[in-house]
Chains A and B, each alone.
Chain A
Amino acid sequence: MSYDKPLPVIDHDSAPYWEAARAGRLDIPLCSDCGKHHFYPRAVCPYCHSDKLRFDTVSGRGEVHTFTIARRPAGPAFADDVPYVVALIELEEGPRMMSRIQTDDPGKVRIGAKVEVTFVKATDEVTFPYFRMT
């Protein structure tokens, strides 16, 4: 079956991140100068503006910083998913990333809930890091 939802347009900044996700790892940039992780991946650290960055495999654990339960889809491609939970996850390492919470019961999602990453294959090129509550 073909995948009809929007796919990321992968660029040079993000390629290592998506490549890692395909291999089941959550890799995000780590700054060699200030020691902070950041997300989304950039060529310059948004905190100290260093360009000494490398991709680091992180724990994949974090908590729900905030979320919304979509009762109307973001376009027809998402219609079958409704209701679904889009969440901003704060990783243990600090950065926040947008993702989905995989759950049968959206009503159970709370700010502060502990989550861990789970990888969901969309196409041969793209695997998404989703999260589920632990």
Chain B
Amino acid sequence: MSNRRDPVIVGLADAPLEDGKFVTRASVLGHAALVAKAAVEEAGLTLDDVDGLLTAGMWGVPGPGQLATVTLGEYLGIMPTFVDGTNIGGSAFEAHVAHAAMALREGYCEVALIVYSSDQKSLRSRNLGGRPSVLSMQHETPYGMPTPVGGYAMAAQRHMHEFGTTSEHLAEIAVAARKWAQLNPAATRREPLSIDDVLSSGMISEPLHLLDCCLVTDGAGAIVMTTAERAKNLKTRPVAVKGYGEAHTHWAIGEMPDLARLLPAQKAGERAMKMAGVSHSDIDVVEVYDSFTITVLLTLEALGFCKIGEGGDFVSGQRTAPGGGFPMNTNGGGLSALHPGMYGMFLLIEATRQLRGDCGERQVKGAETALVHGTGGTLSSGATVILQKD
């Protein structure tokens, strides 16, 4: 049953990187503007058509970044009448898609632009000194918690303890991601990688090794959404937003209700799949946030692709690699393609490209339905989007 106001994705763009850094010389907002312009123009629209602006970022804080949509709207010279600056970490953009979808259905918005940009690699601005020791963080930061890796390490330790998951299981995920990256000319790390390489890459925060951790790169991306009706007169083939869900449980890892079970993903995933009317066997391609290898394991279990505790077996034998039977993170993911701080935008871009059939060597044949799941904070938030070829 389709409706003329059903939400669709009609435009996308991402900034070229070289060695994980921006190629173009522009500020962090400049890169946001350049991908925004490219994404609307791809659809046959202009920035003047945009009446909905959604963004989240880590730039300009404290300062203009505290009111991110306002500052970005100013830079773009537009006056949006629907805005959403929801920031729940790297999953924010999946939540933005949900919120834009509702605004489009309601007639509150006609053309929604979702944007992200970060120049953390070029600026060397990534904060490794821990989180300011205020409010709930006064009970975490002073103990020397490595952030963000320490919280993920604690979840991995717990998963290993409860279910017998091993470092080899986690390494399978990193190696599979690298194999996809080798098929993606835009990926940052493309040299061969073995399970032994991951295991011997040095402990960062036990039990996680260096190569269990995502890259640190720059990156900018944008997505344009409109209604099915408006899309008929545009230049691209629309990809339909069929379902969505979002949830969060905690900020401090010590407050995570169950460190071996990712409840936000369970909640968001169930809701999104029910709304879309799809089951697991309908999903042709899966793009899930891989900030760390353990993130993927917890997410696959929580989304119901396997039982809780069986994620290790599920990813064994390079199941998620090209040709492995479960196409996942097909651009190489945050582990091997790019990870500019909040990666969720790039999950959406890759899923849309797969459904358009634009992925060249790494194209998943016959991909019609994609599941995208972002995770933000320290396993804090989750947001799922189900996309379908129109």
Contact = CB atoms under 8 A, between A and B. Distances in A.
27 contacts: A5-B142, A5-B144, A6-B142, A9-B132, A9-B133, A11-B138, A40-B139, A65-B158, A66-B154, A66-B161, A67-B154, A68-B153, A68-B154, A71-B206, A72-B204, A73-B146, A74-B130, A74-B145, A75-B128, A75-B130, A78-B144, A81-B144, A86-B144, A88-B253, A88-B254, A97-B254, A122-B142
Contacts of A74: 128-130, 141, 144-147, 150
B145 A98 contact: yes
Nearest to B210: A72
A73 B142 contact: no
Given A74-B145, A111-B161, A68 B206 contact: yes
Contact of A8 (B133, B155, B207, B255): B133
A10 B137 CA distance: 11
Contacts of B144: 5, 70, 73-74, 78, 81, 84, 86, 100
Q: Which range contains the number of B residues in contact with the other chain? A: 35 or more
Contacts of A97: 139, 254
Interface in B261-280: none
A99 interface: yes
Given A7-B133, A74-B144, A88-B253, 14 more contacts: A9-B134, A10-B138, A65-B259, A66-B259, A67-B157, A68-B154, A69-B203, A71-B202, A71-B204, A86-B143, A86-B145, A97-B254, A98-B253, A126-B142
Interface of B: 128-130, 132-136, 138-147, 150, 153-155, 157-158, 161, 202-208, 252-255, 259
B363 to A, nearest CB: 38
Nearest to B127: A75
Nearest to B155: A66
B24 to A, nearest CB: 32
A118 interface: no
A7 B134 CA distance: 9
A93 to B, nearest CB: 15
Contacts of A70: 144, 146, 150, 205
Contacts of A100: 143-144
Given A71-B203, A98-B252, A7 B142 contact: yes
A96 interface: yes
Contacts of B128: 74-75
B322 to A, nearest CB: 32
Q: Which range contains the number of A residues in contact with the other chain? A: 35 or more
A8 B157 contact: no
A66 B253 CA distance: 11
A99 B141 CA distance: 10
A122 B142 CA distance: 10
A78 B129 CA distance: 9
Q: Which of A9, A86, A96 has the most CB of B within 10 A?
A: A86
B361 to A, nearest CB: 36
B342 to A, nearest CB: 21
Contacts of B153: 68
B125 to A, nearest CB: 14
Contacts of A5: 142, 144
Contacts of B203: 69, 71
B158 A8 contact: no
Nearest to B130: A74
A96 B147 contact: no
Given A6-B141, A74-B145, A84-B144, A69 B154 contact: no
B132 to A, nearest CB: 8
Interface in A28-82: 39-40, 65-78, 81
B143 A69 contact: no
Contacts of A111: 157-158, 161
A98 B139 contact: yes
Nearest to B159: A66
A68 B146 contact: yes
Interface string A3-27: 0011111110010000000000000
